[in-house]
Amino acid sequence: MTDSTSASKGPLAQSATLTTRQLAWFAGLIAVGIFIWLVFAQWPDWLKGLLISKKAFLSAILNGLTLAGLYFLVASGFTLVFGLMRNVNLAHGSLYLLGAYIGYEAAELTGYWLVGVAAGFLVLAIVGLIMQIVVFRRLEGDDLRQTLVTIGISVVAADLMLAFWGGNTYQILTPDWLSGAIKLPVVTAVRSNGTEVFLVYPFYRLVVLAAAIVIGIGLWLLINRTRVGSMIRAGVDDRDMLSASGVNVHFVFAIVFALGAALAGLAGVVGGSALSVAPGEDVRYLLASLVVVIVGGMGSITGAAVGALIIGLAEQIGLVYFPTYGVVLTFVIMVVTLALRPQGIMGRSL
């Protein structure tokens, strides 16, 4: 019975999907058009009544984009590790925080911010390497126990970091060439005497966004254009076949875990310079990574980018327009994604 209905519906369904795809393109174009108009036009009063002010709206969008960049940096490592090893690393937030602290120490010691960034990246790469070799290789194939171990590690790590760095809030200082604000060529309002007020935004945050885009492209190139990348992709598809064809799977695993941890550390330094470094941040960024990869799709770098964009924007827009319910918005996005597409937007079917 099911067969006959699906057969009779076949051609109809196909034409329906075609039109829905066209509709989606059309709707997308209109949305982009409206957005461009929102950015560049002068807002009429009714719109200001609706969205507070153009400045608030654009700042929320920009904050959302930069936050999305940060979330992407954290979540890409998480999703990379999961995609290859089926290892849900719940200590990923701890890696972020450790990277931030190490970056802070290195930058304080040498006086160079870039040294801090490099230290966060490299030290965490080594930490990730050690974690993979000492801990996770022993528990291969038992994903529940691996996850439990990461929980244990996160508990111990949070406590030890609290012991070492205390409960204070640190701020990694950005160098002069990155600080300050720049004027964007977007008019937010016109004064009564006719002068135009331009949108002013911290330069460093735009750099974060740019860095995330560059790193995202770099990751994409690494995975799609290099030999190691092709090993990683093959490992995601069929780990046993990859090892049967003579590739040292453990070597690939170690590289990926080191890279994932290093990205978390890098995000820690970059994020710690934009915001602050304090105990509890690990949980915040763990939650962000979880939601980003649940929404975007586990194991997909593109998915992490899409998820980060959605969650970052939702969080900042929520913060401006319904302050105490911002978390709910994030949560609703997650639930809706799970209900409609359990594997995530870019994820492959389970």
Partner 1 sequence: MTDLASAGRNTSLPARSWLERIGTGHILLAVFLLIYPLMASDFFLTQIGGYSLVLGMIALSLMLLAGYGGMVSLAQITVAGAAGYTVAIFGENNSGIYGFGWPWWLYAPFAILLASLMSALIGWIAVRTEGIYTIMITLAVATACFYFAQQNYALFNGFPGYNGLRAPEAFGVYWRDPVPYYYLCLATATIAYAAVLYAARSTFGLSLQAIRDNPRRMRAIGFDVTAHKVFAWWLAGLIAGAAGVLLVWFNGRISPGTISVGPAINILVIAIIGGLRHPIGPFLGAVVVVMMQTFAIDIVGAERFNTLIGLVFLAIVFVSPDGILGLWERFKPRTGGEDWSSFVKGRSDKTKT
- Specify the residue, 172 or 288, whose C-beta has the smaller distance to partner 1: 288
Residues in the chain: 350
Please give the full DSSP string across 52-85, using - where no structure is assigned: S-HHHHHHHHHHHHHHHHHHHHHHHHHHHHHHHH
Q: Is 181 helix (H, G, I), strand (E, B) or coil?
A: strand
- Specify the residue, 21 or 145, whose C-beta has the smaller distance to partner 1: 145
Q: Does 238 contact partner 1 by CB under 8 A?
A: no
Cα–Cα dist 76/57, whole Å: 28
Q: Is 40 helix (H, G, I), strand (E, B) or coil?
A: helix
> Of residues 234, 286, 301, 317, which one binds partner 1 by CB under 8 A?
286
Using the rule CB under 8 A, give the single segment among 38-46, 180-188, 232-240, 321-329 that binds partner 1: 321-329
- Specify the residue, 251 or 331, whose C-beta has the smaller distance to partner 1: 331
Q: Does 79 contact partner 1 by CB under 8 A?
A: no
CB of 304 to partner 1, least distance (A): 14
- As a whole number of Å, the end-to-end CA separation of the chain is 26
Using the rule CB under 8 A, give the single segment among 52-60, 112-120, 150-158, 267-275 that binds partner 1: 150-158
Q: Helices 281-296 and 143-165 meet at what angle, rounded to 10?
A: 150
CB of 287 to partner 1, least distance (A): 4
Subset of residues 157 to 176 that bind partner 1, contact rule: CB under 8 A:
158-160, 163
Q: Does 151 contact partner 1 by CB under 8 A?
A: yes
Strand partners, 295: none
Q: Does 287 contact partner 1 by CB under 8 A?
A: yes
Cα–Cα dist 301/311, whole Å: 15
Please give the full DSSP string across 222-265, using - where no structure is assigned: HHHHSHHHHHHHHHHH-HHHHHHTT--HHHHHHHHHHHHHHHHH
> Of residues 9, 111, 114, 145, which one binds partner 1 by CB under 8 A?
145
Cα–Cα dist 350/343, whole Å: 6
Q: Does 140 contact partner 1 by CB under 8 A?
A: no
Give the number of C-alpha atoms closer than 13 A to the C-alpha of residue 22, restricted to the C-beta side: 5
Q: Which helix (H) or strand (E) holds 202?
A: strand 196-202
CB of 86 to partner 1, least distance (A): 7
> Of residues 115, 129, 130, 153, which one binds partner 1 by CB under 8 A?
153
Q: Does 19 contact partner 1 by CB under 8 A?
A: no
Q: Which helix (H) or strand (E) holds 183?
A: strand 181-190
Which residues contact partner 1 by CB under 8 A?
Answer: 86, 88, 90, 138, 141-145, 147-149, 151-156, 158-160, 163, 283, 286-287, 290-291, 293-294, 298, 323-328, 330-331, 334-335, 338-339, 342-343, 350
